[in-house]
A and B are shown apart, each in its own frame.
Chain A
Amino acid sequence: MGFLEVSGLSRSFSGLRAVDGVSFSVEKNAIKAVIGPNGAGKTTLFNLIAGALEADSGEIRIRGAAIQNLPPFRIARHGVSRTFQNIKLFSHMTVLENVMVGRHIRTRAGMGQAMLRLPGSRAEEREIRERSMEMLSFMGIAGLADQEATSLAFGKQRILEIARAMATEPELLLLDEPAAGLNMYETAQISDLITKIRERGVTVLVIEHDMSLVMNISDDIVVLASGKKIAEGKPMEIQKNEEVIRVYLGDEDA
């Protein structure tokens, strides 16, 4: 059984079946890519897994535990973290503070402890800061720690979003188009980062349009079209799959 199991997952928007009976699984510590033409339902699939949307039917299991339709903050506590296609950083907060929010679920101090600044909460605060700085170093943006997050260059914002998600110590990382809008150099950087993240024992599910990135890093690929899974397999198999070629390049009828 896989680490993440999606079975028969469906979600419609006023009659349009955005995700339609999709099933697949992701093995522990694998990198799996979700590809498909625009409107195939990739982001909807992600939002269902992360709890941002409720499923009409189907199941999502992490380590065997059903998580479908839980609110996002509960799913995060199951070890699932994510980035967003349209970057959603915390405005009015620094780069470091953004990552420190990622430590939220790994820390305990309550309102009373925080207000009285008891020794326990002080030690915890120090640890949050240290771990977050470590994460920034790991992602190669430690030098930007005190900058306002939303003032960073676009590429750095994408890296910061991944850093923030990684600070939650996820077991499953959902990356929604991490290379969108990036140049070739930055895309290569992201590709290296994803490989390094996997080496830390994290399972990665990534939506991506950049085929060189997808073919380069993923162990497995799921192909969606019009909400349905049309293929699944190794990158080499997907490249040769006729159905996939047809949806991507179109056929005479299209």
Chain B
Amino acid sequence: MKKYFPIAALAVFVILFQAAASLAGREYYLTQLTMAGYYSLVILGLTLVMGYAGQISMGHAAFFAMGGYTAAVMTTHDLAAGGALAQAAVSLGLTVTSTNAFGAKIIHFSPWVSLAAAVVLTVSVAFLIGIPILKLKGHYLAMGTLGFGIIVYRIVLGTHLFGEADGISDVPEFGLAGGIAVSGDPASRVQNYYIAAVMVILTITLLLNLVDSRIGRALRSIHGNEEAAGAMGVDTSRYKLSVFVLSAVFACVAGVFLTHFNGGIGPSQADVMKSVSFVAIVAVGGMANLWGALVMGVVLNFLSLRGYFGSYDELVFGGILIFIMLFFPDGLLRAENFRGPAALLDRARSVLKRGGDNGIS
């Protein structure tokens, strides 16, 4: 039960923040906080891969984009002019009719169907890419996943179906249940803030449970010593693959929700710099620290989305990554880094003398 106390505290904080923002007439803060919440889902999943299983992925923005673009394409593509397949989809009840920004009626896939399709697509791609790529270690794995991320970015950027450089706009709302819908309508700003909060709370609860289980220990044992993990009967390749796929699903779902919230998606969501920022945030968060990743994920994304970093945005995340890798290769938000300024200074001195070591094996 003690474990659920921070989750309850988070829920209370979510409510207090909303109340404060509404009272102060600054509800527009909730918009960026909602977006930051969705990005945090990607970061929480990536924390599992990087912090716990010790495998780096520089391509997680690709999974986010797969979710977002699948949702965007399937919910904006008009099926009225479609062939037999489109008619079959209509008669199976997989579609809904809505009115787009130009007042035209279009028949498109239901957001639930596109969510399911996005998850299936992401699981398949993560699985197929994961099998060969997760055989790589360390820098090679970083380069492999980076390559994958670049490929997805270029595909998104160069494909007519995905709107090329313009992306896809006019994505309809995602009606969840009982009049609650993921949408960018300013009138439902508070509602959407709570949808994102529920998603975040749900995700961190599931993942906290997972890391505190035999599976979580198996993941950490792979990080701790892969050879010994195998000798203890842990199927290391299977676990690396499962956790990679699982984290891809979180990224994909985040992409679907954020795309409905934003009402569109553009190629910058698949950009490699996005992946770099996710990795940087996991590192600042303390690597194997879900709470640290969540706090940093929300705070840094919020600041970035509010434009506090201005045109230095990429520089900030790149700089954070360099700083962390140099001085805190095991991650910043860790108990051992906060034993007083003397210990910190000591650490800085020793790193400058002998150079840093890489925390990711």
**How many residues of chain B get a CB closer than 8 Å to chain A's CBs?**
29
Our pick among B207, B213, B215, B225 for the contact of A90 (Cβ within 8 Å) is B225
Q: Are A114 and B209 in contact (CB under 8 A)?
A: yes
Tell whether B326 is near chain A: CB-to-CB under 8 Å. no
Tell whether A68 is near chain B: CB-to-CB under 8 Å. no
Our pick among A82, A92, A105 for the contact of B220 (Cβ within 8 Å) is A92
Which B residues touch A51, using CB under 8 A?
230
Among B67-75, B134-142, B231-239, B267-275, the one that faces the other chain is B231-239
Q: Which residue of B lies closest to A82 (CB)?
A: B231
Q: Are A72 and B230 in contact (CB under 8 A)?
A: yes
Tell whether A101 is near chain B: CB-to-CB under 8 Å. yes
Least Cβ–Cβ distance between A60 and chain B, in angstroms: 15
Q: How far is the CA of A125 from the CA of B217 in the complex (A)?
A: 11
Q: Are B213 and A121 in contact (CB under 8 A)?
A: yes
Cross-chain pair count, CB within 8 angstroms: 107
Least Cβ–Cβ distance between B94 and chain A, in angstroms: 26
Tell whether B143 is near chain A: CB-to-CB under 8 Å. no
Q: How far is the CA of A107 from the CA of B213 in the complex (A)?
A: 11
Q: Which residue of A lies closest to B359 (CB)?
A: A92
Q: Which residue of A lies closest to B245 (CB)?
A: A111
Q: Which residue of A lies closest to B54 (CB)?
A: A92
Which B residues touch A97, using CB under 8 A?
217, 220
Tell whether B216 is near chain A: CB-to-CB under 8 Å. yes
Q: Are B214 and A109 in contact (CB under 8 A)?
A: yes
Q: Are A73 and B234 in contact (CB under 8 A)?
A: yes
Least Cβ–Cβ distance between A53 and chain B, in angstroms: 11
Tell whether A116 is near chain B: CB-to-CB under 8 Å. yes
Q: How far is the CA of A168 from the CA of B229 in the complex (A)?
A: 12
Which A residues touch B230, using CB under 8 A?
51-52, 71-73, 76
Interface size class of A (residues with CB under 8 A): 35 or more
Q: Are B228 and A114 in contact (CB under 8 A)?
A: no
Q: How far is the CA of A111 from the CA of B249 in the complex (A)?
A: 14
Q: Which residue of A lies closest to B51 (CB)?
A: A92
Q: How far is the CA of A35 from the CA of B232 in the complex (A)?
A: 25
Tell whether A89 is near chain B: CB-to-CB under 8 Å. yes
Tell whether A137 is near chain B: CB-to-CB under 8 Å. no
**Complex interface bits, A65-79 against B, C-beta within 8 A gives 1, otherwise 0:** 000000111001100
A76-B233, A101-B234 in contact; A91/B213 too (CB < 8 A)? no
Which A residues touch B246, using CB under 8 A?
111
Tell whether A104 is near chain B: CB-to-CB under 8 Å. yes
Q: Are B227 and A90 in contact (CB under 8 A)?
A: no
Measuring CB to CB, which residues of chain B are less than 8 angstroms from any residue of chain A? Answer: 206-207, 209-210, 213-218, 220-221, 223-225, 227-236, 242, 246, 288, 330
Closest 6 CB pairs of A and B: A90-B224, A76-B233, A105-B233, A114-B213, A72-B230, A88-B228
8 contacts between A and B (CB under 8 A): A73-B236, A88-B227, A91-B223, A92-B223, A92-B224, A102-B232, A109-B215, A110-B215
